[in-house]
Amino acid sequence: MSAEEFSTPVTLIEGHLELEVVLEEAGKRVREVLLKAWGFRGFEKLLVGLGAESIPRVAQRICGVCPVAHHVAAAKAINKALGIEIPDYAELITKIINLHGVAQSHLLHTGFMALPDMYRVKSISQILEKRKEVVDNSIRALTNSQRIVSILGGRQVHPVTLVPGGVSYTPSREDIEAVEKACREGIDSLKKLVDEVLEDYTKYLEEVNKSMKYTSTYYVALRGSEPLEFYDGDIIVLHRRQLVSSFKPHMYQDYIEEETVDYSYSKLTKVIVGREKHMFRVGPLARIYGLKDPGYDLSREIYEAFNKLNKEYPENPLLYTMARLVEIAYCFERTLDILEELKKTSIKPRVHVEPRRGEGVAAVEAPRGLLVHHYKLNNSGVVEYANIITPTVHNLRPMEEDVRKTAYSYIDSNGFKKHEYETIAKTIVRAYDPCISCSTHFVKIKTI
Amino acid sequence: MVKKVGVLSLAYCGGCEVALLSVGDMLEKIINGDISLEYCTIAVDNVEIPKVDVMLVTGAVRSQRDEELVKIAREKAKVLVPFGSCACYGGIPGLLNLENIENVLEEVFKKKTLASGGRAPTRLLHEAKPVGAVVDVDYIVPGCPPPQGLISTLATAILQNKPVRLPDTNVCPDCPRKRSEKIISVKPRQRIRSLSDLDPDKCLLEQGVLCLGSITVGGCNALCLKKGAWCSGCMGPLPGKSFDEEFIDLVSSVFSNASVEELRRAIPDLLKIAYMFVSPRSKEGERK
């Protein structure tokens, strides 16, 4: 019997992703559901031959939605390869930049992608007619987060201030005050936004939950000394919110296994726990599942709301949206504390760097989850090997699994309900906030 | 009259779209309804390329699909504008043109089928190309991403049916560092070694550190230089100039007293620095 296939591009996400469904038996049976990524640019190859100091500036061109995470991870890995410990002052600034890389990306997703999906409109402009204040508050919070990255990073997209040895820019007193002000305004706008959308979101979740299927998976994130760790620590593996394994970032190649598929420019991965291999999710949901208490007022308030919803719909990928809101609050609130620490720290932006042969691996939490950068340098400090493992690579497998499982329930006596299915499948994919430009990569890890 | 605008994303990173949708004149005009954003897969749920007044194209032409899409966009747009340095000059993805793409794919994916298409949505071209190498373009808006000032100029230009004119000046007038009247000849220093002891008030070139601001078209407000970083040339060449020729002139005049060995040691990645954003095309308007 001949197969019928259809495919559609997934919109309101970063990058190029196609949803393809292959049906057989006259639309009565789903043979295959695939998520096909394209948009390969080959970063790990083009970075080879560049001086170490250019890497934080060039590697981030992988992604313009989460450039900050790449800027931070690249700088951290390069410093490791050079045997450099950056001064505390530089590290505090790096942490603030990193937090707002997370917040600005989350806010972009919330305003421009998640809210249009939730209100069933085509773009943010169409929400204006119904809920102007929602748009205003989401853009105001976003702008405040972007302002912080601009002040400390030099540019809001593709910042420049993280260099081997520390930071190239020492913020003035006015800069610090402006960052503080941006945090307070950000908290205020976010609080209003959450108050305005929580009820709508709860209804939307309840409704969508009925029309989708999803998978229980393992979760992988960083765990360090901060309540929500974005910069340091070990990589932990969770299952049903319990810790089942952990490993050091530089061991990533022993614990994460990749698989090449012939239909996509992205690979798929599994995490190795003992003798088993498991599909896993990364990102806001993984981080929040590892969290005990965010430690700040607004973050805690949203976290409690998250927990309530999570009891009803455990592991529903749509909870990613709520987890993002907890994290945005945390990024603003945590920054105020780091600023206090910064004021007490002696001003030393960077240390001297001598190029040398070396190897460095760094793991940070990017907005979408665990991000690993790995470089080898030659005697002149020139990159001779680069490997970058982006979070969306890990999330693609559960994402594909969710849309596949969901597809089976869209067949009735009339055949496959194509339109309804496409709508729900896109909603599922969007909830993960995939970054396909990040995922279409050169990942060099264990090959099955 | 409301102007219909689309954004077609090719081999891109999303940074141009983020810059376009950040607070500024463009977003304001989209929100107040002067500009209607009809197509932009990252921010609008439309899957078909519609007829528009102005189509902005981001990213390099890297795959056969990119080539097909940009041709469709050209037919449907009254005005077509490469937006960002990947679309204007090939940008960072163009650096891969120094490699053989089949070898890269074989090494990465270990599957010949993907290199030749397989079940993947499209096949890669042998090289990354700027948009202007595939279709006629009306004007360009460079930058990685384009700076907010230039985006404001673009927003006004769209409403007035006019092209954007790039400045005739380089990045230097906006740079806070002081520079002598005449370029003096200095010994080159490796950038990585110089970071800790740079004089924050003095021209980087005069301190022996390669900065591309003097051969790069202005309009960016020298954002990088204001935060202690050198210009990496993301805005591309001055109108009518060729970036690689200018680069050779710059290096040979500023470091005229340096031996080849000194140059090689100070700038071990000279070729990649010269071609960082302009490998497929180093001159505006040049047609391959």
At B170 the pLDDT is 97
Look at residues B236, B57, B78 and name the one whose alpha carbon lies nearest to residue B132.
Answer: B57
Residues of B in contact with A42 (CB under 8 A): 93, 96, 99, 101, 104, 108
- Measured between CA atoms, the residue of chain B closest to residue A105 is B18
- ipTM exceeding cut-off 0.85 for this assembly: yes
Q: Which of residues 96-125 of B touch A (CB under 8 A)?
A: 96, 98-99, 101, 104-105, 107-111, 113-114, 118-122, 124
For B169, the 3-state DSSP assignment is: coil
> How high is the pLDDT of residue B185?
87
Q: What angle do CA B168, B174, B177 make, to 5 degrees?
A: 130
Picking from A12, A64, A353, the nearest residue to B15 by CB comes out as: A64
In contact, B142 and B217? CB cutoff 8 Å: yes
CB proximity B7 to A under 8 Å? no
A266/A169 Cα distance (integer angstroms): 36
Query: Is B67 within 8 Å of B15 (Cβ atoms)?
Result: no
Q: Does B286 have pLDDT greater than 50?
A: no
pLDDT digits (tens, 9 = 90+) for B18-32: 999 998 899 999 988
Each residue's pLDDT tens digit, B137-167: 999 999 999 999 999 999 999 999 999 999 9
- Cβ–Cβ under 8 Å, residues B153 and B110: no
Contacts for B218 with CB less than 8 Å, ≥ 6 apart: B167, B169, B170, B171, B172, B173, B174, B235
Pairwise CA distance, residues A120 & A125, whole Å: 12
User: Cβ separation of B124 and A50 shorter than 8 Å?
Assistant: no
Helix (H, G, I), strand (E, B), or coil: what is residue B196?
Answer: helix
Residue A105 to residue A101: CA distance in whole angstroms: 6
Interface test with B, best of A7, A8, A12, A16 (most B CBs within 10 A): A16
How crowded is the C-beta side of A117, counted as CA atoms within 13 Å? 29
CB contact under 8 A, A9 and B41: yes
What would the DSSP string read from start to end of A329-388?
HHHHHHHHHHHHHHHHS----B-------EEEEEEEEETTEEEEEEEEE-TTSBEEEEEE
**B195/A153 touch (CB, cutoff 8 Å), yes or no:** no
Q: Is residue B282 predicted with pLDDT exceeding 80?
A: no
Output the six-digit token pair for A51.
Answer: 């001086």
Q: How far is CA A192 from CA A140, A178, A187, A283, in A?
A: 11, 21, 9, 24
Q: Which tokens belong to A343? A: 């004021």
Residue A440: per-residue pLDDT: 73
Q: Is the pLDDT of residue B103 over 50?
A: yes
* CB pair distance less than 8 Å for B120 and A263: yes
The answer to whether the Cβ–Cβ distance between B30 and A382 falls below 8 Å is no
Tens digits of per-residue pLDDT, B210-229?
999 999 999 999 999 999 99
Verify whether the Cβ–Cβ distance A40 to B196 is below 8 Å.
no
Say yes or no for a CB contact (<8 Å) between B92 and A40. no
Which residue out of B13, B64, B85, B189 would a mutagenesis test of the A interface target, given it has the greatest number of A Cβ atoms within 10 Å?
Answer: B13
Selected residue of B8, B9, B45, B113 to mutate for chain A interface (largest A Cβ count, 10 A): B45
How confident is the model at residue B111, as a pLDDT?
Answer: 58
Whether the Cβ atoms of residue A236 and residue A227 lie closer than 8 Å to each other: no
Nearest-CA distance from A438 to chain B in Å? 8
Angle at A355 between CA A354 and CA A360, to 5 degrees: 115
pLDDT(B287) > 50: no
Minimum Cα–Cα distance from A387: chain B residue: B108
Q: How many CB pairs lie under 8 A apart between chains A and B?
A: 243
Give the pLDDT confidence score for residue A129 in this predicted structure: 83
With contact defined as beta carbons under 8 Å apart, do A310 and A319 qualify? Answer: yes
Q: Pick from B144, B163, B155: which is nearest to B233 by CA?
A: B144
Of B42, B105, B197, the CB nearest to A14: B42
| DSSP characters over A229-264 | -SSSSEEEEEETTEEEEEE-GGGHHHHEEEE--TT-
* pLDDT average, residue stretch B236-258: 93
Is the minimum CB–CB distance between B192 and chain A shorter than 8 Å?
Answer: yes
Q: Which of A6, A31, A61, A419 to mutate to test the interface with B (most CBs of B within 10 A)?
A: A61
pLDDT, block means (10 residues), chain A with 448 residues: 80 90 87 87 90 97 96 98 98 98 97 93 89 94 97 96 98 98 98 97 96 96 96 97 96 90 86 96 97 96 97 97 98 98 97 97 98 97 94 94 94 87 94 85 42
| pLDDT attached to residue B284 | 60
Q: Give CA–CA dist A269/A262, Å, rounded.
A: 15
- Residue whose entry in the numeric block shows the structure tokens 């057989």: A24
Give B120's contacts in chain A (Cβ within 8 Å): 36, 38, 262-265
Facing A128 at nearest CB: one of B31, B113, B190: B31
- In this prediction, residue A327 carries a pLDDT of 98
Q: In what order do the strands lie in the sheet with A29-38?
A: A4-9, A16-24, A29-38
Residue of chain A with shortest Cα separation from B192: A53
Residues 6+ apart with CB under 8 A from B261: none
pTM value? 0.96
CB spacing of B44 vs A123 below 8 angstroms? yes
* Distance of residue A14 Cα from the nearest chain B Cα, in angstroms: 5
> How confident is the model at residue B288, as a pLDDT?
38
